[in-house]
Structure 1
């Protein structure tokens, strides 16, 4: 029995480090530190990595700290000893069956509320405080949903038809529409007996003890290659981990560590505020700074890609990944789906032979292409697409570029130059002051303070 819910994590490799100390890591969203091996005789590590059944529940709290529940104890973040559950939530006595952090875009009063399930009742906490009217019967809060649950996970609109919660109890799966207050039973033979369920960075997972699988929340389909061991992906256990045999290769580990200072080949940010950074055969993604940066191999998400990404940009719920003279376009929604007919030639798709850097700004169809010391604009709504006249920029060369809500970022090695708007970049006659990528964008400590 048990649940790991709303915004847990699987990393396609061992979790990437943020190069921060333990206290900062937990305060900033329970961030991993793969550069430090667990101590073999550490009793807390031994308890977390035990063979007997995994955790009862896992979720993020309102500040993004990961909570691991087992019995009447909880671990907060990835370091330190277990604490009694009722030391933080005094209303809860004993173990927790399920837990989730429920963001409701249409209901800001319940945004990021943490729900803890036990027996027939549910408790709701906002900013650590029990909300009025709780605890309530689960069947009153989620009409038609039984008590004594095994797992629960929220499903965002776009992944499901509407904002929903998926509940697991033995062989039974229930989908509860949060807007309509209607529950539907699902027949998902591959996704049953989930002792935990997790949503993390657009993906959904069912835990079965110390094993887990990934599933599609609208259909219950499971991709090839699952089940996998939780201890190789979701926690750091001695002698375990995806790719453990290469951990001693410092070059590989530095590539997977976005605080290493190694330059990135490409960046992009989409309309939803997600940021992607590409280096070698890896990519890093962050949805919110609270939840931290995490790394996967490229082919973990985009199996059609072989090699490195040279440039990237996002537009109209699609991500464009450029390799040499070809472009791959993926629909972003329930995972990433390669658009039929791609990859295509860059010249045919965008009217350009190549690029040093590309970027689009949020909610804009204007693509900016940088080659050498000049920039050209391409209207993505136009067909066929043709670049506009060349405009000078105050840089002889840039490696990559990105535009987000904070402005335009032009990257050169381990530094970037910031401009508040495209207009400011166009008007500049000299580069803005360089800033450090790892310390400013990734929040890593300065060199020597890891």
Structure 2
């Protein structure tokens, strides 16, 4: 064999290895491209962010009363939280036979004497889907003309309208400039003209008011004649979403007073001033004249920044809890964090954080701590704080915020609150009291 010449067998083996490596690399590249295409095809790329100012395709309320906002193949549940795929909740809307582009309209039928009470209807092109308890009803989807005769295909929006808001129990359908009032009882259809309303891309009834969404704005309207009263349109993110950044035109006081997003925490101090926290902001209602101010949490409580879990007032101090930390502020201008804080919630309250709600009643020295569906007592006068007297809540199993004042205990659930005359009635009562609206009855919002 000549010097410098490699054996033929070794050279062939090397070339074979190179070929195999190229094939493997090509296969990996194909798999990566296929995965990327699949992600795009399934809607996993470019997931929508509602805080960027989306135009929603449809809005409705679930059987449990939770607002559902739809965009493309995605669903936002409630006023905060990330997008999730529609097919995870309503699989037939986006299956192997029909890949969902967007939902045209949706509403929940809410007439207790009707056979389809609490059914949710979805409109896609010329078809309608009816769900009850997240299960597709037998025989659906059907043609829109079969279920709602006289109503056109390819709708823009729909909203249910019970009497006396409308003349009878009706559903209002929107398609461009055309307005259709569908009478549920006799299936009669009336065409009406809403002159002062923009074209709705989605609509829904919430807290007995009617809202037309157009772009990332909304207008509140009268369901009978479509009249829009007041200063509209307004930014949807200000009132129906929990976002940290808003438009430059946002009136921060009106937004926080009138937002439908639930409060994170609420309390009143010894002077009767009320503090209410939501996301990155808080409301302050002056106990002397009831004027309301709003500000970013970090401007007054810079160590907290945002997202307060629970707060209570005791002896001119605000006990503020976030995750597993407790911050103790002196009520003053500015509010001052005491030395040595934050401390762990466990160290100060005797419970592991996070805490759902907490309050102290006037002239009392016991903090009532709500965690899950149980309430605990913590004696504040002693040097060692221990959570005792654990007992279950009898009426309300999920509390967002709570406070106690000379009039009793106010318990916030979603965008409503309940007033109990005493702690005992809240913890072990038999009847749940009347609902009150946080925005209207606590902060004087007119819508």
TM-score w.r.t. the length of structure 1 is 0.47
Bigger radius of gyration, 1 or 2?
2
Structure that is richer in helix per residue? 2
Q: Structure with the greater relative contact order (CA < 8 A, sep ≥ 6): 1 or 2? A: 1
